[in-house]
Amino acid sequence: MSTASRLPGIAFTDHVFQVPLDHAAPEGEQIEVYAREVVASGRAEDTDLPWLLFLQGGPGGKAGRPLGRDGWLERALDDYRVLLLDQRGTGRSTPATRQTLARRGGAKEQADHLAHFRADSIVRDAELIRRRLLGEDHRWSVLGQSFGGFCTLTYLSIAPEGLDRAVITGGLAGLRSSADDVYRAAYPRVVRKNEGHYARFPQDVEAVRRIAAHLVESPAPLPDGGLLTVEAFQGLGMLLGGGSGSGTLHYLLEEAWVEGVAGPELSDTFLAGAQAQLSFASGPLYAVLHESIYGQRSVDPAGTAWSAERVRAEFPEFDARAALDSGAPVLLTGEMIYPWLFDTDPALRPLKETAELLAARADWPDLYDPAKLAANEVPVFAAIYHDDMYVDTADSLETARAVRGLRTWITNEWEHDGLRVSGGKVLDRLIAMARGEA
């Protein structure tokens, strides 16, 4: 099924594909995967345009909704017909949320269902779609951002025959890194991002301490029925991994307080802003599946077991209560998912037991094939962001050395969101590398 539409500068076609829930049982249950084909206006009939598949960050993130030739699409559409994939469970694909998963039955049935929503299944969806759109003998290129880069490494591991070339931005995962390895490397990076923020906005040291002290005594109800605890408040540190995140956080903190009937209280403006940053209502799979993206039986045979929470205990500087007692700055956290989120966020509460089962799940299939990557023949070009808060630079460099023929561009001009905010400059540099022009 497909329908065509237009917006300024672009023509797009909606595609819906039936794919197996479990690719190992192709005749079994089918789900829908949605993809939006985007082409520059006036080039819709250009059959010579090569295809570029975009794999979104996440997990659990739908592809962007273009309003025209905006962002990185401005550059991509010069050369490509772009396919924006809503990865299974997201966007217009068959959704996986508290509302839809309840139809599956209990927590065990839900967890078994979601075990089919990792990178290996996403790649097999992409391969099925490639064959249906392009035909068996035609390859396409892939652009993987963040988690989409992880998926690209999986693509190169299990179906490289489908790829003409691969471009990765901020998404070279550690091939042999356990979840514990990932978080042990992540917490010190988050400390550095906190230090950078407080150096830029020294007044925020006291602003964060004041809010944290208030929340220790009185967790604040959020407009959606969630609860802003001090630990949930620390989650606003997720912002510090993006280029404009430090400023966004500062402006949010500026409007934290108003004078109410009983004295100072957290403002509705602040609580609504915090909720907008912290709620998983629009992307629950990010929370439910996050640690499973690191699960591989050859690396984590016992499962991930709430790794971010366990490893956090090794970094006592993130204890907000201890920081308040000692007079130290309260540190905010980053891309970590904790079990208590399934108590404080209404979109996650019904999925608490499901998340527990996934955290305890052992024997996750491997996602990467180091031997096949070492013999890789697909040209790969990757942007590595120096001191990326979300993806460890050391892991990325080690993976770059492990993938035959992979060329890197290491930059500190952009943060993790460089593809989105650079106005096409990041993608332009990588395309130039692919052409031998850089």
What is the rounded CA–CA span in Å between residue 62 and residue 64? 7
Q: Phi and psi for 401 in degrees, rounded to 5?
A: -70, -25
Residue 222 tokens, joined: 């959020």
* Locus of tokens 């269902």: 113
What is the rounded CA–CA span in Å between residue 92 and residue 171? 24
How many CA atoms lie within 13 Å of 275's alpha carbon, on the beta-carbon side? 20
* CB proximity list for 36: less than 8 A, separation 6 or greater: 12, 13, 14, 15, 63, 83, 84, 86
* Locus of tokens 């001009």: 413
What is the rounded CA–CA span in Å between residue 419 and residue 148? 12
Q: What is the DSSP letter of 95?
A: B
Residue among 214, 319, 416, 417 flagged as catalytic: 416
Neighbours of 74 (CB within 10 A): 17
Q: What is the DSSP letter of 89?
A: B
- Closest by CA to 178, choosing from 294, 50, 310, is 294
- Is 146 one of the annotated active-site residues of the chain? yes
* CB proximity list for 267: less than 8 A, separation 6 or greater: 255, 256, 257, 258
Residue among 93, 121, 146, 307 flagged as catalytic: 146
* CB proximity list for 397: less than 8 A, separation 6 or greater: 172, 384, 408
- Give catalytic residue positions: 146, 363, 416
